[in-house]
Chain A
Amino acid sequence: MMQNPHDDPAIARRRRWMGVLAQAPRETLERAWRRFAAPPAFEWLRRPETGLVMTRGRAGGSGRRFNLGELCVTRAAVRLEGGAVGHAYVAGRDGRRAELAALFDALLQQPTLHDELERELIGPLAEAAHAAREDAARKAAATRVEFFTLVRGEDA
């Protein structure tokens, strides 16, 4: 039986940081990139390209798949001098954001850089996303409602 790639811990870690990078604000990625005194050299495997990904739902939420509608997505791929290949698929049409996400995907695969980038970039981005999600969830919780069914006079 083929091994599910999602069970591989290295792939699980990469999935996580790629997901965080895909949602990162461009300015945060730019700032992190500017912190390199000498920007890492790379070559393009795929220059930023905008296209569509068809999103899907399931009938009833759990049944047969159907096409819901498309999402604008920009992708890019780079190779660092050392050979590490970085990919990005990022919702939206911002080529630079996809470029930076691909670069950091490649850099995070470098053992010499991984821990620092995890600590300085991915960790704070994940925390900010979590905080935003939690803030919305607390607003939602403040609107939780208890409905009471009133008993009619003659039944009381």
Chain B
Amino acid sequence: MYVSVKGGERAIDNAHRWLAEARRGDPAVAELSLEQIAGQLAGSVDRVMAEGSLYDPELAALAIKQARGDLIEAVFLLRAYRSTLPRFGAAEPLDTAQMAIRRRVSATFKDLPGGQILGPTFDYTHRLLDFQLAAGGAVPPPAERAAEPVAPAMPRVADLLGADGLIEPEAADDGRPVGDLTREPFRFPVDRDVRLQALARGDEGFLLALGYSSQRGYGRNHPFVGELRIGEVAVEFVPEELGFAVEIGTLTVTECQMVNQFKGSAERPAQFTRGYGLVFGHGERKAMSMALVDRALRAGELDEAVQAPAQDEEFVLYHCDNVQATGFVEHLKLPHYVDFQSELEMVRALRAAAGRPAEEPEDA
């Protein structure tokens, strides 16, 4: 049991004042603006929005600034802010086939309708530090523009190739209410909607490690990236007072369709199966990891042996949330004096019972 403590107000105030000073850094150096963070640290902003489960680049930039760049702390701040707002309702599902494509690649199909679009990517860079960036001041040349734009909408590869049955078709929505882990606790086994929600806001590092473990043989399922796409999609919402859908804004999202080998089972023919990833922002590592873990978690449904951590739904869902995880781990550093005192007495009693009294310090 945790017994609370009191006192220390002055020390706490002073500690927070020091934190504020340290956060600001050298006052002779220009202060970071939210526009700078949102515009030039977009990868951090996108990660905080995805794991904070709240799309608002300006708020995410503020959270990053306040957290001194500690992204899990920033996620925590965003989650806390979110809990103060009312919910107006749920939007219509995003139609990723209508995405304004910035990047779209497939590792399995060379000639896709619409083409392979590299977009602004780190892929194929040499990962050499660029000391020109350190010097600053250089304005990069504008991005090249082709005469013809890419198509305004591109079909999803899995839908194109699913038609002949070699890739399993996606089960249609059955109209059941959509589960929401922010409103109801998990009840295992959970449905795929709740699982996808948990993964979409799950910690990138945790999901990356689990996805990697599945590639290394802990629940192996032979994945290929069927398609990875990044771009902007419109959000439509039906206000009760209007009764029709209106576009309320645009989101940048990353979607990954993983295509996996499957030998078949008593009920299903041999065919490729699918894992799915969808995250806020430009987050391909996270979307790919999510798709790997989503597929691993379908083991039971596909009559595969559930043996590895990535296939264990309770293990994955109870541990993928970094705000919950950090809360429980970090509470250990708060005062536990009463707890520890009682444990200390128990250890002393056990030692006394075993005939080995604790050695008393000489000048106690």
Contact = CB atoms under 8 A, between A and B. Distances in A.
Interface of A: 5-6, 11, 15, 18-19, 22-23, 49-73, 75, 77, 87, 89-93, 133-147, 149
B143 A69 contact: no
B87 A63 contact: no
A140 B119 contact: yes
Given A54-B89, A59-B276, A66 B197 contact: yes
Contacts of B110: 147, 149
B197 A68 contact: yes
A55 B88 contact: no
Contact of A138 (B56, B103, B146): B146
Nearest to B146: A141
B122 to A, nearest CB: 13
B332 to A, nearest CB: 29
B25 interface: no
Contacts of B248: 22, 53, 71, 73, 89-91
B97 A61 contact: yes
Nearest to A62: B170
Nearest to A85: B241
A14 to B, nearest CB: 8
A71 B117 contact: no
- For the complex of A and B, the 10 pairs showing the least CB-CB separation, nearest first, are A91-B249, A137-B149, A19-B247, A63-B170, A60-B170, A141-B146, A66-B193, A69-B53, A138-B145, A143-B118
Contacts of A135: 145
B237 interface: yes
Interface string B236-268: 010101111111111101010100000000000
Max chain B C-beta neighbours (<10 A), residue from A50, A135, A137: A137
A141 B235 CA distance: 24
B85 A50 contact: yes
Nearest to A63: B170
Contacts of A61: 96-97, 156, 158-159, 170, 255, 257, 276, 278
Contact of A18 (B90, B173, B247): B247
A3 to B, nearest CB: 11
A53 B91 contact: yes
Given A59-B193, A61-B170, A65-B193, A136 B100 contact: yes
Given A66-B179, A91-B250, A141-B117, 18 more contacts: A5-B243, A5-B244, A52-B88, A53-B237, A54-B87, A55-B94, A59-B192, A61-B97, A63-B170, A64-B173, A66-B194, A66-B200, A68-B200, A71-B56, A73-B237, A140-B117, A144-B117, A145-B118
